[in-house]
Amino acid sequence: MLRQVLLAASRRDSVRRLAETAPYTRSVVQRFIAGTAVDDALRVTEGLAAGGLLVTLDHLGEDTLDPGQAETIVNGYVTLLERLGSADLGPRAEVSVKLTALGQVLDGGERLALKNAQRICHAARAVGTTVTLDMEDHTTVDSTLRILEELRADFPDTGAVIQSYLRRAEEYCDQLSHEGSRVRLCKGAYNAPESVAFADRREIDRSYVRCMKVLMAGKGHPMLATHDPRLIEIAGALAVLNDRSPDRFEYQMLYGIRTQEQRRLAGLGAQVRVYVPYGDEWYGYMMRRLAERPANLMFFLRSLAGDS
């Protein structure tokens, strides 16, 4: 129930205005968001890379309302990638892209989003890194997978994301577990009807394990996005069972969450990639993070009440 309330709040303008204007919100935001500018993203990336971690950067924004706004977001990614190249961070940092930010839901948006994603992929290739397409609301899944297929014709290292709360997640993982396919598996943080998605956390976790088994037994490169100690332990066991060396899969975790565990896994020789968001459009992202891990809610509520 709490998860559904938080997800609903992520779409409420009145709650957003309260959050954005509360005097101590910034302390909360800084826990999860690198900052608002490219310089902030680079500073955090350099620090994480120095600590032996990999990074994926998300320029926050989604549900673009017009092609001009999408163009601005594309230019932002191109600038970010150029700066990563100049700092020799390409081998350590990739970018995550939401297709709705590139115009996916506009009229004729699928072609526009593909064109814009191709520009970002070209910029990523130029600095020796890659792009992963974030998965969003369940209504965009089929479109996202179509765009992924077209992108991979020229950029086969483009990453996919599958959400285990979707009832078809295991099927999607099976389709994407081929040679060279990079697939991030996450639980999912959007509202969806019961007909297409699991609502019970135990069912979502069971689906996650089923999907992990498919990906770890497949020929692709699994990217296991979870903070759950049980799932991390299962992932390690599956790596042994399927004779996967540490360079053939990776763990992914969010910036600001379980940082000690990130360092612990990296210290054991695992590949660990940190999902680092930056930009002004932080509200929807943060509310979904709270929905995924409601224990963070009290930290957020204290900030709204002015308790630093």
The one catalytic residue in 184, 205, 273, 289 is: 184
Nearest Cα to Cα of residue 169 among 220, 206, 223? 206
State the Rg of the chain over Cα: 18
Give φ, ψ of 92 to 5 degrees.
-105, -15
* Residue labelled with tokens 């069971």: 206
Dmax (CA) for the chain in angstroms is 52
Distance CA 294, CA 299 (A): 10
Q: Give SS3 for 113.
A: helix
Q: Where are the beta strands (DSSP E) in 14-103?
A: 54-59, 93-98
- 184 is known as an active-site residue: yes
Catalytic member of 58, 134, 157, 205: 134
Show the CA angle centred on residue 26, arms to residues 23 and 29, nearest 5°.
140
User: Does the annotation count 125 as an active-site position?
Assistant: no
Residue 33, φ and ψ in degrees, nearest 5: -120, 135
Residue 233 identity: E
User: What distances in angstroms separate CA 17 from CA 13, 47, 90, one per listed residue?
Assistant: 6, 32, 36
Give the span between the Cα atoms of 38 and 277, in whole angstroms. Answer: 11
As annotated, the active-site residues are: 134, 184
